[in-house]
Amino acid sequence: MSCVRVLAAHSKSRRPATEDSRQLHRFGRLQLRSDLSTRSRTRWACCAMYRMWQRAANPNDQRERWKGYPFENMALTHFVGMAGVEDRRNVVAAKLPRSDPRAGVFGYDEVAKRGEITDGESNTIMLIGSGKLASPWVAGGGATVRGAREPYFDELTGFGSQDTSRQGAISVMADGSVRFISSNIDPTVFRAMSTIHGKETVDASRWLSEAQLTK
């Protein structure tokens, strides 16, 4: 069964926290498996992240289900995969080849290999809070993969995590660590964190802090 089918099968119900989600709460890190083939690892990670997104990644966010046609009552995801930087009106980062310097971890047709993330895994955003635009998994497109477009933390269309005491977004970095990114981050630094091999030299540490995954 493909990962998309698994996600669709699970999207109608919220399940109790899994061991994956408990590990995320305990250690603040998604343990990416290296003993599987690329295809199997991608499928495993996708399904594991879906289970965690149901309860673990932002348990403070009370939004759970889509209201209205055509995805009535489908479970929402509070996170999107980072597609890269959209620096012009007609640029869609998810459609860029992952070889493009503006590309992030996720594209519509491909996902960056670990060896392609040369800007530093701990400084590269893999997943980020979707802000007020929480959509059902089965919608696809920008509901699950989104590029960074200024203003990055816009109240209506930008990234963010709901019901947190700080302004900004909970993110999962490419090394599996879970961090909170302040909305006051320097835009130049955020752009650098959104790409996998833009060759920028930035210090992201001052804008990152531990994510508060429980109230």
Cis (ω within 30 of 0) for the bond into 59? Answer: no
pTM for the predicted model, two decimal places: 0.71
pLDDT, tens digit only, all 215 positions of the chain: 334 333 333 334 334 444 444 444 333 455 555 555 555 655 555 555 555 544 434 666 777 788 888 888 887 888 999 999 999 999 999 999 999 999 999 999 999 999 999 988 888 999 999 998 888 877 888 888 999 999 999 998 999 998 677 899 999 999 888 889 999 999 999 999 999 998 777 777 777 777 765 54
Residue with tokens 């909305």: 183
pLDDT at res. 103:
96
Could you give the CA distance from residue 85 to residue 99 in angstroms, rounded to a whole number? 13
Pairing mode, if any, of strands 79-85 and 145-148? Answer: parallel
pLDDT score recorded for residue 39: 56
Q: What is the DSSP letter of 123?
A: G
Among 146, 190, 189, 183, which Cα is nearest to 165's?
A: 183
Domain spans, the chain: 62-210
CA distance 212 to 121: 21
